[in-house]
Amino acid sequence: MDKRELMEALVEELNRYAYEYYSLDNPTVSDKEYDLKYDELVSLEKEIGIVLPYSPTVRVGDTILEGFSKYTHKAKLWSLDKAQSIEGIVEWHNRNLKFVNEMRAKGEDLPDLKYIVTKKFDGLTVNLTYNEEGILEIGATRGTGAVGENVTAQVKTIKSIPLKINSNDVFEIHGEAVMTTEAFEKYNETATTPLKNLRNGAAGALRNLNVKETARRNLSAFFYDIGYKEGEPFKTYVEMLDFIREKGFPIDDYVVECSTIEDIQKEIDYIKDIRFSLNYDIDGLVIAIDDIRTRELLGYTVKFPKWAIAYKFEAQEATTELLDVEWNVGRSGRVSPTAILEPVELAGVTVKRATLNNMDDIKKKGVRIGSKVFVRRSNDVIPEIMGTVQDSIDGSKEILPPETCPACGSHLSLIGAHYFCENTLSCKPQMVKTIVHYGSREAMNIAGFSERTAEQLFEKLDIKSICDLYKLNKEDLIGLEKFGPKKAQNLLDAIENSKDCSLEAFIYSLGIQNVGAKTARDLVNTFKSIEGLKNAKFEDLVLVPDIGDIVAQNVMDFFREEKVIQTIDELLALGVNPHFEEKEITESAFSGKTVVVTGTMEKYSRKEIKEKLESLGAKVAGSVSKKTDFVVYGAEAGSKLTKAEELGVKTISEEEFENMI
């Protein structure tokens, strides 16, 4: 086999592995084996100077484009007519029944109506064109429906999209690029400007000229329609979906056949129930006639196909007036704006406040005090402002950043897109939130330590650092509001007990920017001591799983601060004793598996079962997806268990779990 043939074989092999991993969720090789073959391919491509258009190396996304060219779709991408009530579906169904009966009377041999119900994804529509060799030639946005933008380089970063398939027919396939909650959260951990929601994360990624940024967002995709195809036509929509699945495209597992309105209503109720347990956004259901001949006869209106309709869920967006902007100080000293709104009902909740992130966000969205704004509520607890109603700007006021810290009056510095209070020693919100974080359960676990207690310690006892907690005495505490001798002693005991702590809890308690409990654990498992972390080099930090350039730099900057080193030294001198124990991983059925825990366990707290699973070699995740291997459930398990059953993920009761270990 010559080098060209070896390269082609490696490309085919790696693409097959990618399909098994991303589409089938059933990898047949380890990550290490894949990486070795990938590196071999990269070396070969450099050596012979050829990169095949469907090589997995083209997914890397290391180019910055000058602009987007236009692409004329081979067949129009239609919008769907919408119904927001079951009555709208009934009217549509009755029109279909009438039409089928009329066609039968004219001699057409049409089958009884059968509908295929699928989820309506809330991302960005993509149209992929494959040539007669089965190679992905063009990836484009919907655009006007007739003409879209060429985003081929961006689309190729989506690892679940096949770059080459086994087909000799030219065809176009429609799908939706989406961002999962896992990808969203991971991206935001290190993002300079965090993303606001999943949909904007996906849309912004595909319309970003910096393809490396698109790749960083780790998008997923679902495919559901063939818009154009040469060769043998499909007879039914089910046949079309089978073709999509067989060719290796990612397709959602939820595809349900319905024959009656009662069937459709049942599916609407079901998807409404599980909607917010999904790890991607949907905004409704699509109901489409299965028989292609019936579709052809029904045809189209000017805007919509007559053979399909979208059932839209209750609006997650509303319009209201922005009354004011309130600036608040966080633990890191960041001063962030919050919008105060005229109360508005949104998806069954009265919304009075919304997040605004920073001044760049305010300017980008054109938000002004007194203007009308679009407010959206998705999975976030705090709704967000999406934009401004342009004709409401007259008479509104510009939003200006504060000149000084709204809490302590100190000077503000602008770092990146955010304002920070420079008074790190005596700014109340900073100190109170720092102390509360230090005492939190996942950090030093100081029982009974609340924000109100931290406020009193700051105001009455002049506690200005976490070290001061270990200098408190009973007489001081008894003088505080709602503190008697017993409560004072309990708090002192809890503070004393916190001295004996794990190293990962201690590192998390220090409040390093973008370092959560999991990242702290990963750092500790790699560097094993405070000294190891202090002396860690950038190139060593970025080798830690899930740690990128920004977090690595944050860790280095943190341990370069003289004040930080002084605080750590003082804590150790006061008796704080962080210890690291190398966890022994027991080989088990859970080794290397992704496990989600849901419900209430009889024998374990949530922390205990998490630690137990990790000791068995499992990776414990917070949400269920196709990549979940097991869901361990206890009493009163809710939507996570339902979703696992829907996806076919193996579920294990607490009793079964006990038997397995």
Amino acid at 74: K
Q: Are 222 and 161 in contact (CB under 8 A)?
A: no
Q: Dump the DSSP string for 559-616.
A: HH-HHHHHHHHHHHHTT-EEE--PPPPPP-TTTT-EEEEESB-SS--HHHHHHHHHHT
Would you say 614 is a known binding-site residue?
no
- Cα separation, 339 vs 369, in Å, equals 9
Would you say 501 is a known binding-site residue?
no
Nearest in space to 77 (alpha carbons), one of 298, 308, 315 = 308
Give the number of other CB atoms < 10 A from CB of residue 546. 11
Nearest in space to 73 (alpha carbons), one of 154, 140, 166 = 140
Would you say 258 is a known binding-site residue?
no
Nearest in space to 184 (alpha carbons), one of 279, 250, 251, 119 = 279
Nearest in space to 23 (alpha carbons), one of 251, 279, 225, 244 = 251
Give the number of other CB atoms < 10 A from CB of residue 345. 10
Catalytic residues: 120
Based on DSSP, count helices (H) and strands (E) in the chain, helices before strands. 24, 24
Sign of the C-alpha dihedral, residues 119, 125, 131, 137? negative
- Cα separation, 175 vs 206, in Å, equals 13
Radius of gyration of the chain (CA): 28
Q: In which element (H, E) is residue 245 found?
A: helix 237-246
Nearest in space to 173 (alpha carbons), one of 219, 216, 218, 136 = 136
- Cα separation, 180 vs 159, in Å, equals 14
- Cα separation, 198 vs 205, in Å, equals 11
Q: Dump the DSSP string for 110-152.
A: PPPP-EEEEEEE-SEEEEEEE-TTSBEEEEEE-TTSSEEEB-H
Which of helix, strand or coil describes residue 63? coil
Would you say 164 is a known binding-site residue?
no
β-strand 124-130 against 136-141: which pairing, if any?
antiparallel
Nearest in space to 179 (alpha carbons), one of 140, 205, 161 = 205
Close Cβ partners of 533 (under 8 Å, ≥ 6 residues apart): 507, 523, 524, 527, 555, 559
Would you say 31 is a known binding-site residue?
yes
Q: In which element (H, E) is residue 319 found?
A: strand 317-329
Annotated binding residues, written as ranges, equal: 31-35, 79-80, 142, 176, 312, 405, 408, 421, 427
Annotated binding residues for NAD(+), written as ranges, equal: 31-35, 79-80, 142, 176, 312
Annotated binding residues for Zn(2+), written as ranges, equal: 405, 408, 421, 427
